[in-house]
Structure 1
Amino acid sequence: MAKKLSVESMWDASSVLLPEHKLALNEWVQIQQKRERIDMDEQGWESVSQALGVSLTQREEITLHMYHPFEVLTVVGIVDRVDHSRGRFMVDGEWFEMSDIEGDAIKRRPKQAN
């Protein structure tokens, strides 16, 4: 006896979907998973500024939780440079935007002696 196909199983089958439909479905799923930016208050920015300064001057490792629309991004390292005029900072040779820092989720760890 033949198995009856439901509408859902037909749309789930990749052989039934046109390439245009697959692309539209993937884009829709991405939009549904997009994260919202978290705004930080004045106290949070003071904490961030202090932690960046300590990492830069005392060479302490910090962990920063950064905004990315589709994934959780964490920057771990020692701040090499801070460019206030462009609103960015460098960790391990890579520039990051200060405006992308989320919340005051910053942890400082003392540099380990070798």
Structure 2
Amino acid sequence: MASGSRKKLEGNGMWESSRMMLPEHKTALNVWDRERLKRTRIHLDEQEWEDISRAVSESMKRREAIKIKMYHEFEELEVNGIVDKVDQMKGRFMVDGEWFEIMDIEGAELEH
């Protein structure tokens, strides 16, 4: 085997010597990279849910601003405003005219 061809095969030589990547490989790398950045959903205990429920209730009754930390797969989201409605049957709540899922709540505090 010639010295030049051996170098291509050493380590990651095949990839290093080739600037070409198949579309399937590029897609797989993009999927892997995106999955790697995914956030995991936190699980709240009963006391945390009671605190959240109290804060949401107070916001609605007293028309007080609230800051609600929400779950999202790839970013940290926060809903800020006043709770207008809570729909227990559909598992959602409304802040400033927009509906959000109750199950996505990770924390809540009134803004005093």
Cα deviation, residue 106, structure 1: 2.2
SS of aligned partner of 2:84: strand
SS of aligned partner of 1:71: coil
Which residue number in structure 2 is paired with residue 64 of structure 1? 68
Which residue number in structure 2 is paired with residue 107 of structure 1? 109
Q: Does 1:24 align with 2:28?
A: yes
Deviations 1:40-77 (A, max 9, x none): 01111111111111111111111111111111111111
Which residue number in structure 1 is paired with residue 3 of structure 2? none
Tell me, in whole angstroms, the C-alpha distance in 1 between the residues paired with 2:108 and 2:93. 15
2:38 maps to amino acid:
K
2:89 maps to amino acid:
S
Instruction: Find 1:84's aligned residue among 83, 88, 106.
Output: 88
Report the TM-score when normalising by structure 1.
Answer: 0.78
Q: Percent identity?
A: 51
**Residues 52 and 109, structure 2, Cα contact 8 Å, conserved in 1:** no
Tell me, in whole angstroms, the C-alpha distance in 2 between the residues paired with 1:51 and 1:57. 10
Tell me, in whole angstroms, the C-alpha distance in 1 between the residues paired with 2:99 and 2:109. 19
Tell me, in whole angstroms, the C-alpha distance in 1 between the residues paired with 2:55 and 2:72. 21
Instruction: Find 1:97's aligned residue among 101, 105, 108.
Output: 101
Deviations 1:4-63 (A, max 9, x none): 99848x56x9x6222222211110111111111101011111111111111111111111
Larger radius of gyration: 2
SS of aligned partner of 2:67: strand
Tell me, in whole angstroms, the C-alpha distance in 1 between the residues paired with 2:98 and 2:23. 37
Report the TM-score when normalising by structure 2.
Answer: 0.79
